Structure formats: structure tokens, C-alpha cells
Chains A and B, each alone.
Chain A
């Protein structure tokens, strides 16, 4: 794994673990596929708790909100979900990219 990506993943996983150990309910989101120019590479992670506190990033901003909303359902029913997002040109522009991309994010509960 690329060193900076590995360090970022360590950070997110360590935090998720810490939160869970402290009794908080946590979901973990992983970028599993990307097409075109997506802002964050495959393997990027985001951990979120039921207070919508999160660490890490799956898109550099454009789909974080949607992922966090879905994560609440995942925490609720425990069923993992595979989410598909198309990053539109406008959204992509907002995060500093000139062209769009597609991202698939896997969201699971930390049991």
C-alpha cells in the first residue's frame, strides 16, 4: 500500500477502534471501486459514529454526506451496503476536479 494511504488508513482504523472500545456505535466506509477521475483512491476509508462525527474521507467532500446518512441505517440494522455514486461534473468541479467520476463505497457496521 502506498505509504501515505496506509498512514491515513491506520489513522481511521485506530480511531474507529477507539470509538468502538469506548462504547460508541461505529460504521466503516471503504472506497472499493472508482472509475474515471475520482477524488479519493480505492482503499480510502471513513469511520463515522451515530453522532455523525467522522474521520477520514471517501471523496474529498462530495459524497460524504450521503455516505454518512447511509451509515446511520447500517448501524441501525447491521446490514452492510454497497453504494454507487456518480460524481457529476458540477460536484467534481466543487472539489477541485475538472471532470467527473464514479465511486463505489462499501459501508459496514463495526460489531
Chain B
């Protein structure tokens, strides 16, 4: 491997960019592929994109040039929780165990304390400011949990403008319908609003905060692994 390939790979990792290292097992050639940044089309890039979207670590491709070993370097998974509420406590812990770097946003200082969320980043900024700084990407899940449009909505607006792979919002069907109307008023179309999962979580009959956290996290995991593989053009 050329030293400059390795330097670039490390720089990409540091910058939080998805990069795929393609290694030709016959010639020893190494290439870096950017599955989401470039419009360039090739068999190799397509395979890289599929692997990256499916959250696979590695993949193999045989073509005329030989056998290529693809190693996916995805940026770390993140979860942003809007609302330092009851459900956020178990959800933050479970998500951290599942490999997510968790940030809790809640401008209400009484809720958003380090003591209630040990080991989690807590911010009391308003969601629009906090979200602008966090810059969610396609490896980010966002869950709005406050029930309060003043707090949830600005976060959801930022979420819908981002490439976050999962956007969920707590609330009944009725609450979700009202939220839908507010998002229309914010200028989003049906398709975009459809990205918000609501009622949030897989239907497992969850009642307690911890059970709801299980339902939400299960839906996040499902969404991550289902991804959009089938939507990738050949």
C-alpha cells in the first residue's frame, strides 16, 4: 500500500467521512472509494456503496482486474435525543451499549443534568443551535421525545434537512398528525415528512420507559441495517 493512500485514509477517518479501501488481491493495488461523495459510476464503487449502506465491514468483488477486497470505514454511529426525559435515560444507556455516541439536547436545565445522564453528552442549547453544531450525517439517528413542539419541532426541521438515517418522534397518532401539519407549514413535502417514524418504535407493546427505549432502539437498528441498498442504482 502506498503511504499516501494510508495518510488519506487516516485523514478521512478523522474527518468523519465514509471511505472504502479497495485492495486488489492479485496486483496489490489499493484504491480509496468515496461511496457517497462522488457521482462517478463503476462496478467497484457500486459494490462499495452497497457495502457501506448495509453497514457491512467488508465485501469481495471479482472482476476482470482480479479479486478486490473492500473494507468499509464508516464514521461512528451517533444518536441525538431531543429531551432529557424519562425515556431518554434508558435509551441513552442502551444506545451507548449498542455502539452509539449519544448526545441529549434539552434547553430545560432542570432536566438536562450530567447526573441524570452519566457518560452521555448533555447540552442545554436550543435544538436548532445544537443540531447545527452536531451536523447529523447518514450515520446519525435522531429521536424527539419531549412532546413539546417548541423543543421537538426545531430539531425535527434540522433532522429532515439532514441525511440522518433514522428520525423518530414520540407521540400518539393524533400528536403525529398535528406534527405532520406543522412540518407542512415548515415547507416540507409528504415524502420528506414520511421520514419521521411516528408513533416511534417497533410495535412490541412497550409500556415502561425502558420498554419504549427497547422498541425505539430496535427500530433504529432495523433501519440502519435495512438501509437503502435496494434503492441504489446499478
Task: Please report A residues at the B interface, Cβ cutoff 8 Å.
Answer: 1-6, 9-10, 13-14, 16-17, 20-21, 28, 30, 32-33, 41-43, 79-80, 82, 106, 108-111
Contact = CB atoms under 8 A, between A and B. Distances in A.
A2 B6 contact: no
Interface in B39-80: 55-58, 60, 69, 71-74, 76-77
Among A6, A21, A82, A106: residue with most chain B CB under 10 A: A6
A43 B71 CA distance: 7
B69 A17 contact: no
Question: What does DSSP make chain A's interface, helix, strand, loop or mixed?
Answer: mixed
A108 B55 CA distance: 26
B58 A42 contact: yes
28 contacts: A1-B57, A1-B58, A1-B72, A1-B73, A2-B99, A3-B77, A3-B99, A4-B99, A6-B73, A6-B74, A10-B10, A14-B10, A16-B6, A17-B6, A20-B6, A21-B3, A28-B1, A30-B69, A32-B23, A42-B57, A43-B57, A80-B28, A106-B25, A106-B69, A108-B30, A109-B1, A110-B1, A111-B1
Rank and list the top 4 A-B pairs by shortest CB-CB distance, nearest first: A80-B28, A3-B99, A1-B57, A43-B58
Contacts of B58: 1, 32, 42-43
Contact of B57 (A2, A17, A33, A82): A2
Interface of B: 1-3, 6-7, 9-10, 13, 23, 25, 28, 30, 55-58, 60, 69, 71-74, 76-77, 99
A53 to B, nearest CB: 18
A87 B131 CA distance: 49
Contacts of A108: 1, 23, 28, 30
Given A3-B76, A110-B1, A111-B2, A41 B25 contact: no
Contacts of A17: 3, 6-7, 10
A20 B4 CA distance: 11
Given A17-B7, A33-B60, 18 more contacts: A1-B58, A2-B57, A4-B99, A6-B73, A9-B71, A10-B13, A13-B10, A30-B69, A32-B25, A32-B60, A32-B69, A43-B71, A80-B25, A80-B28, A82-B25, A106-B69, A108-B1, A111-B3
Contact of B23 (A1, A30, A33, A109): A30
A13 B9 contact: yes
Nearest to A2: B57
